Amino acid sequence: MRLKIAIFGGSGYGGSELLRVLLLHPNVEIKFVTANEQAGKSVSEVHRNLLGLTDLRFTKAPEDVEGLADLDCVFFALPHGQAMDIAPRLPEKVKVVDLSGDFRLSDGEVFAQHYGREHTAMNAQTSFVYGLTETNREVIRTANRIANPGCFATAALLGLAPLVANSLLSGRVIVDAKTGSSGSGAKPAANTHHPQRSNSFYAYKPFAHQHVPEIEQELKSVGEWNNELIFVTHSLPVARGIFSSIYAETRNEINAVDARAMFAEFYRESFFVRLVEGSPDINWVKTTNFCDIGFAARGRQLVVFTAIDNLVKGAAGQAVQNMNLMFGLDEKIGLVLTGSNP
């Protein structure tokens, strides 16, 4: 099987990672990749790490997307607000994986509050499945439209889902999450440019991050979720990686060994979740599709640590994982990527 693929938005970090993974995927043929500002340039001119791997050139996005019936799957790696204008016009048989936040939230008012714009395609949103592979695998297999989770949401949900599914939580949950500068995209801004962040550390969007509603929305589909969530994000002085410390109070006393056993059972079919002793390290997951999870416990106090690469498991890798499932492929194909040491 050679799937005919298109990528809308290939010049940013998400698009670059999609290209890095899909160019080496044995079941994929990339038909075109768009980047309006870079149209006409070779992919390897923009993404120097791909030199020698492809002759593709960036094109402008086609206006007649209704005529793309020969494609099998389209990935959207566009800024928030753009996929909602294009995806609903694609032929129904073409599968879609959207890496933006356009179709993650089922409530249009909540979307407008957190993304600062009106949602113009809520009718189409109902056809999208939330693509956290490890909690929604069976639904994804039969889906045509996938809303790929946010990077912070992925790190938080993978650490919380087993606790919610087993009804273990009591009281508020605090998620202290930190991300590298690539999470802000390829275009620098005053407070997100890496030179500003490289020797600094600060919190941002406290209580107001756009991934909060999708975390709570998905937890309600996993089990009973009525807890107060305190979610605060921080800027790490690194380029890649998300590290989350999830502080929870459990209904009964639990130790780290029992927590690990519970997570092992919950993720028994999930190759990309690795359970580690003590704390994970973002260096172990960089450039990979793995989520490493560790634990610390004292009485009823449990801390779950999660680490992912924000551009791979938090974006492009999970998107390809979902594509594999939708087309009946082994979800690991093209994604058994190792990190480096050091």
Are the C-beta atoms of 183 and 263 separated by less than 8 Å?
A: no
Residue 146 β-bridge partners: 97, 129
The one-character DSSP state at 79 is P
Tokens at 218, concatenated: 């998905």
Give CA–CA dist 148/125, Å, rounded: 13
The CA distances from residue 314 to 13, 44, 295, in Å, are 12, 23, 21
Tokens at 308, concatenated: 């992912």
* Annotated active-site residue in 105, 151, 242, 273: 151
How many residues would you count in the chain? 342
The residue to which tokens 């273990």 are assigned: 168
Catalytic (active site) residue 151: yes
Give CA–CA dist 87/115, Å, rounded: 18
Are the C-beta atoms of 271 and 331 separated by less than 8 Å?
A: yes
The helix/strand/coil state of 307 is strand
Are the C-beta atoms of 5 and 30 separated by less than 8 Å?
A: yes
Tell me how crowded residue 159 is: count the other CB atoms within 10 A of its CB. Answer: 26
For the annotated catalytic residues, the residue numbers are 151
